[in-house]
Amino acid sequence: MKLGAIEIDKPIVLAPMEDVTDPSFRRLCKRFGADIVYTEFISSEGLIRGAAKSHRKLKVFDDERPVAIQIFGNDIEAMVEAALIAEAAKPDFIDINYGCPTKKVAGRGAGSGLLCHPTLMEAITAAVVKAVKLPVTAKTRIGWDENNITILDTVKRLEGAGIQALTIHGRTRAQMFKGLADWNWIKRAKEVATIPIIGNGDIWTAQDAVRRFEFAKVDGVMIGRGAIGNPFIFREAKALMRGVELPPPTFREKIHVAIEHLKMSVEWKGEKYGVLEMRRHYSSYLKGMPNVSKVRDYLVREEKWQNIIDRLLEYELECEKHLRDGTFETLAETLNDHSKRLVLAPAALEN
Ligand SMILES: Cc1cc2nc3c(=O)[nH]c(=O)nc-3n(C[C@H](O)[C@H](O)[C@H](O)COP(=O)(O)O)c2cc1C
């Protein structure tokens, strides 16, 4: 897949996720093999107002490249100004969010709200493309609701406006995160597109990623929730793309990566928010480990990062003991059982 100066064959991409894909998590995922990463979405109005929270999200590091800054908004001038501010932060490309379904974004006519105003969406895109030198991409959903699946029209409009790649989350706005991502529409969009298409939705395992490439013939796949507390998915998916099935991470690795992640998160966000934002990661990091519920309950309540690290190290010793005692024989290969959440068998995809 080619995107400006970037050329990557079949990239496996970390999805933009608010309060998740800060630099600490992006760099971790990069280290485990994510080919491209995105910032959390950033409000164009916030950038223009000079809001500290928005400007902080602009920071990108060299060791995470290629990295995109994602912006959202529904005003042409504001989006152009925001794109210029984003460009000055020196990402590798700029992504426009036309997919966010929440009330605070779509309800105000931005994100997926623009799927109801395709001419404005086209005008914003064309203006941003014209204003910046960097490549511009977009991320969208297949339509507003099941009676308004507009993705094929969206592809034509956005490629006409000059974007260089489009990510498609195979759900409608009305679905929010419910139901299944419909990869049939992603496949059809890929068939009509002349620009690279990145498919997104419900990739929970390395096998899912490989199957989605095969099924939809997309240029790249993007992983969101499947990477939360599980940056290992990129290593596994990259290997499986080469035909190599890696063993899952051991409990030791999972615990030590969780600790490293927490330290990076606190370094970036400070103790209060660093600790808070890590909470959504623990259940995946510790999935399948023995007597996990007690330790997890502690981790999602404790406010001091040093105490959390001490508890994780203590838990590692408990796991070692279980392993020695043979109480949890399969521990060394704790399968992250995301595979149980694989909801779309290839046959179902055809329907
Ligand atoms: C916590 C969370 C935050 C998200 N924030 C963003 C965002 O800032 N920008 C965006 O384009 N999508 C955002 N998304 C949507 C994801 O990028 C992705 O499209 C969606 O989760 C479907 O992919 P998945 O099934 O792999 O999770 C977010 C999703 C989650 C779960």
* The pLDDT of residue 125: 98
Could you tell me if 273 and 220 lie in one domain? no
Could you tell me if 56 and 186 lie in one domain? yes
Residues recognised as catalytic = 100
74 pLDDT more than 50: yes
User: Which residue has a Cα nearest atom 3 of ligand 1?
Assistant: 17
| 151, part of any domain | yes
| 341, part of any domain | no
Report the 10 Å Cβ neighbour count for 119: 9
Chain centroid to CA 150: how far?
23
Round to whole Å and give the CA distance between 137 and 316: 43
239 pLDDT more than 60: yes
* The pLDDT of residue 327: 76
Could you tell me if 181 and 36 lie in one domain? yes
Report pLDDT digits (tens) over 281-295.
999 999 999 999 999
Task: Choose among 290, 280, 297: nearest CA to 326.
Answer: 290
* The pLDDT of residue 330: 55
Assess whether the C-beta atom of 225 lies below 6 angstroms from ligand 1: yes
Could you tell me if 175 and 301 lie in one domain? no
Confidence of residue 237 (pLDDT cuts 50, 70, 90): very high
Could you tell me if 271 and 232 lie in one domain? no
| 259, part of any domain | yes
Two structure tokens written together for 190: 């890929």
What percent of the chain has a predicted confidence (pLDDT) above 90?
91
What kind and span of H or E run contains 41?
Answer: strand 37-43
Could you tell me if 320 and 202 lie in one domain? no
CATH number at residue 128: 3.20.20.70
- The last residue of a domain, from among 241, 264, 282: 241
Query: Token pair 């910046």 is at which residue?
Result: 132
Residue 53 belongs to domain spanning: 2-241
- CA of 17 from ligand 1 middle (Å) equals 5
Round to whole Å and give the CA distance between 265 and 25: 8
Q: How many domains does the chain divide into? A: 2
* The pLDDT of residue 326: 81
Could you tell me if 185 and 281 lie in one domain? no
Task: Choose among 36, 99, 93, 100: nearest CA to 69.
Answer: 93
Could you tell me if 172 and 265 lie in one domain? no
* The pLDDT of residue 60: 98
| 218, part of any domain | yes
- Select from 12, 18, 20, 57 the residue to mutate for testing ligand 1; criterion: most ligand atoms less than 8 Å from CB: 18
188 pLDDT more than 60: yes
CB 136 within 8 A of CB 93: yes
Could you tell me if 263 and 179 lie in one domain? no
Across the range 296-301, mean pLDDT stands at 97
* The pLDDT of residue 334: 46
23 pLDDT more than 90: yes
Contacts 24+ apart (CB under 8 A), 108-114: 108/74, 109/74, 110/72, 110/73, 110/74, 111/41, 111/72, 112/140, 112/141, 112/144, 112/173, 113/74, 113/173, 114/74
- The last residue of a domain, from among 241, 259, 278: 241
- CA of 126 from ligand 1 middle (Å) equals 24
| 56, part of any domain | yes
Could you tell me if 171 and 287 lie in one domain? no
User: Which residue has a Cα nearest atom 26 of ligand 1?
Assistant: 224
| 69, part of any domain | yes
Could you tell me if 317 and 298 lie in one domain? yes
* The pLDDT of residue 265: 97
34 pLDDT more than 50: yes
42: alpha, beta or left? (left if phi > 0; alpha if psi -120 to 50): beta
Per-chain mean pLDDT for the chain? 93
- Select from 29, 169, 185, 344 the residue to mutate for testing ligand 1; criterion: most ligand atoms less than 8 Å from CB: 169
Round to whole Å and give the CA distance between 351 and 346: 10
Pick the atom of ligand 1 nearest to 226's CA: 26
Assess whether the C-beta atom of 41 lies below 6 angstroms from ligand 1: yes
Confidence of residue 127 (pLDDT cuts 50, 70, 90): very high
| 290, part of any domain | yes
- CA of 326 from ligand 1 middle (Å) equals 40
pTM for the full predicted model = 0.94
259: alpha, beta or left? (left if phi > 0; alpha if psi -120 to 50): alpha
- The last residue of a domain, from among 190, 213, 241: 241
* The pLDDT of residue 325: 87
The count of C-alpha atoms lying within 13 angstroms of the C-alpha of 247, restricted to the half-sphere facing its C-beta, is 10
340 pLDDT more than 60: no
346 pLDDT more than 50: no
| 227, part of any domain | yes
Could you tell me if 230 and 255 lie in one domain? no
